Amino acid sequence: MGVYRAEYIWIDGTQPTQKLRSKTKIVPRGENPPIWAFDGSSTQQATGDKSDCVLEPVTVIPDPIRGGDDKLVLCEVMLVSGQPHPSNTRRASAEMGKKYASFDPWFGIEQEYTFFKGARPLGFPDNGFPAPQGGYYCGVGADEVFGRDVVEAHLDACLKAGIKISGINAEVMPGQWEFQVGPLTAPEIGDQLWLARWLLYRVGENFGVSATLYPKPVRGDWNGAGAHHNFSTNEMRESYDACVAAAEALGTRHALHIENYGFGIEERLTGLHETCSYREFRYGVSDRGASIRIPWQVAKERKGYIEDRRPNANVDPYVSSRLIIETVCGAASAKRSATPAREAVPA
């Protein structure tokens, strides 16, 4: 065959939470996926009279669903003028990553999600509720674990596609799961997380199961779904003081981060279910009820990373990675320039 299939994937303009879209282009073998276009009036990205939006490929990976030479093509959405579309959050993440590249910022994101079959989470009975939370987290057995076939197929697809997935686990609520991506810098962490999400939805189709990133899929005494961001800079990987300074810096811009960590965050960050209320900011060692947790090994080894537990499952990782770099690296570089270099101090 002289052609391959390229699945162009992009992020739309749906509010309050953007959605993934994709369509297929047949490309001659040996050629890179070219710039393409779509009808922005069907994705909340344009009006009908000026409907064309542009797809600019940024990442091309093997398509593990179709296999062979077929590809997944993650795109940035552009205006016909060549400027980034207002819905394009990747560009700013890439620019922030570049601005603070000397800090070599790393992110490892824990993506929680919930499977639904029809109107109920997978594993919930048609009437009433399953047994209360307690046995489901990292559970085993058909009475406690729901959807493992889908999870395994998704893990397999991510590995075949070359996504830097670092683990999976069953979560606290039945039908709720987590996968981790990273550590990666920005904007790559956003690229890979969005691609892994696309694969999750796509693999779910084969099982007749949908996945949602909604932060509080079941009200009441059931855990919400978050996306903890594990973060480090080269300084933090060498020094505990830099880890504490990062947590302090995040505290100075708490409200701004909360506003940008995903729709419905007030429903999830209640202060119960292993969260800190969105109205408060706290950091602490090993504290799963804090906004920022410093893992115990980090406190012990006096270096490493911190965990921002605030982001919702439905966070845009381009937005969160941009903000975290700006807040932490911005504060660290202000400190650097306020501390005169030793040779600059007059004798």
Closer residue to ligand ADP, CB minimum distance, 86 or 167: 167
Closer residue to Mn ion, CB minimum distance, 229 or 253: 229
Residue 271 φ/ψ region, left for φ over 0, alpha for ψ in the -120 to 50 degree band, beta for the rest: left
What are the DSSP E strand ranges found in 29-70? 36-39, 52-62
**Tokens at 232, concatenated:** 């480090």
The residue range among 125-133, 183-191, 226-234, 295-303 that interacts with Mn ion, by the rule CB under 5 A, is 226-234
Binding at 123: pick from Mn ion, ligand ADP, none (beta carbon under 5-8 Å per type): none
Task: From 71, 80, 90, select the one nearest 45 (Cα to Cα).
Answer: 80
Helix (H, G, I), strand (E, B) or coil at 201: helix
Binding at 305: pick from Mn ion, ligand ADP, none (beta carbon under 5-8 Å per type): ligand ADP
Closer residue to ligand ADP, CB minimum distance, 89 or 180: 180
What is the Cα–Cα distance from 42 to 156, expressed in whole angstroms?
32
Closer residue to ligand ADP, CB minimum distance, 182 or 204: 182
Is residue 308 a contact point for Mn ion (CB under 5 A)?
no
∠7-10-15 over CA atoms, to 5°? 145
Residues paired with residue 22 on neighbouring β-strands, in sequence order: 9
Handedness of CA 272, 274, 280, 286 (dihedral sign): positive
Closer residue to ligand ADP, CB minimum distance, 25 or 164: 164
**Tokens at 175, concatenated:** 């039908």
**In whole angstroms, how close is the CB of 294 to ligand ADP at the nearest point?**
12
Helix (H, G, I), strand (E, B) or coil at 322: helix
**In whole angstroms, how close is the CB of 324 to ligand ADP at the nearest point?**
11
The residue range among 64-72, 103-111, 118-126, 141-149 that interacts with Mn ion, by the rule CB under 5 A, is 103-111
Residues in the chain, overall count: 347
**In whole angstroms, how close is the CB of 302 to ligand ADP at the nearest point?**
14
Binding at 121: pick from Mn ion, ligand ADP, none (beta carbon under 5-8 Å per type): none
Closer residue to ligand ADP, CB minimum distance, 33 or 304: 304
**In whole angstroms, how close is the CB of 241 to Mn ion at the nearest point?**
23
Q: Which residue is nearest to ligand ADP (CB)?
A: 108
What is the Cα–Cα distance from 248 to 347, expressed in whole angstroms?
33
**In whole angstroms, how close is the CB of 186 to Mn ion at the nearest point?**
19
- Taking the alpha carbons at both ends of the chain, their separation in whole angstroms is 74
**In whole angstroms, how close is the CB of 68 to ligand ADP at the nearest point?**
30
Closer residue to Mn ion, CB minimum distance, 228 or 303: 228
Closer residue to ligand ADP, CB minimum distance, 124 or 177: 177
With CB under 5 A as the contact rule, the residue among 216, 228, 229, 303 that binds Mn ion is 228
Binding at 303: pick from Mn ion, ligand ADP, none (beta carbon under 5-8 Å per type): none
Helix (H, G, I), strand (E, B) or coil at 230: strand
Is residue 178 a contact point for Mn ion (CB under 5 A)?
yes
| Residues near ligand ADP (CB under 6 A) | 106-108, 110, 166-167, 180, 182-183, 228, 230-232, 237, 304-305, 307
CA distances from 247 to 25, 122, 303, 307 (A): 45, 37, 13, 9
CA distances from 236 to 88, 122, 336 (A): 30, 40, 14
**Tokens at 143, concatenated:** 């009475």
Residue 257 CB neighbours (<10 A): 23
Binding at 116: pick from ligand ADP, Mn ion, none (beta carbon under 5-8 Å per type): none
Q: Please give the residue ranges that form the binding site for Mn ion (CB under 5 A).
A: 110, 178, 228
